[in-house]
Amino acid sequence: MEKQPRCKKCGRRLKSTLSIAIGMGPKCAGITSTSAKRVRVQSKPSSRVAFSDKTLDQAQAPPFSGELPKKLLSKRELFRKRMEERRRLFETRLPFQCGLVLPARKPLVYFPLEDGSWREDYSGRVISHERLQQYLIRYRII
């Protein structure tokens, strides 16, 4: 004799394919006829079983490996962090991106030159270190 699937929460026998697929009856799952939640269940016509009791006993693997971040950063903290990173790259004379060129939406990257000045990647324009520093500070990029 085949075992009847039962509700995970209350233990009642499940009759509808939707309830069998979910593993709970409509009351335990919180699904009412007036709620907008619609779930379509497709069962194989040959087996007529949409739910297997064997899968309940197996432990499910976590969806990802690794640790979650301790605390999500706010927009202000993200802005401050990016600004500090650009300032560090500017002071150590490493290439850095300070924005996008519109409407092309191409990255605006500055590369250091041997003579102490900087070259803009998009247009090839050369700008002195002091002038670029004034520009970046005025527009709160660093």
Q: What is the pLDDT of residues 38-93, one digit of tens each?
A: 656 565 555 555 555 554 545 556 666 667 667 888 999 999 999 999 999 999 99
Q: Phi/psi zone of residue 82: left (φ > 0), alpha (ψ -120 to 50 degrees), beta?
A: alpha
Of 32, 6, 33, residue with least CA distance to 20: 6
pLDDT digits (tens, 9 = 90+) for 79-135: 999 999 999 999 999 999 988 888 888 999 999 999 999 999 989 999 999 999 999
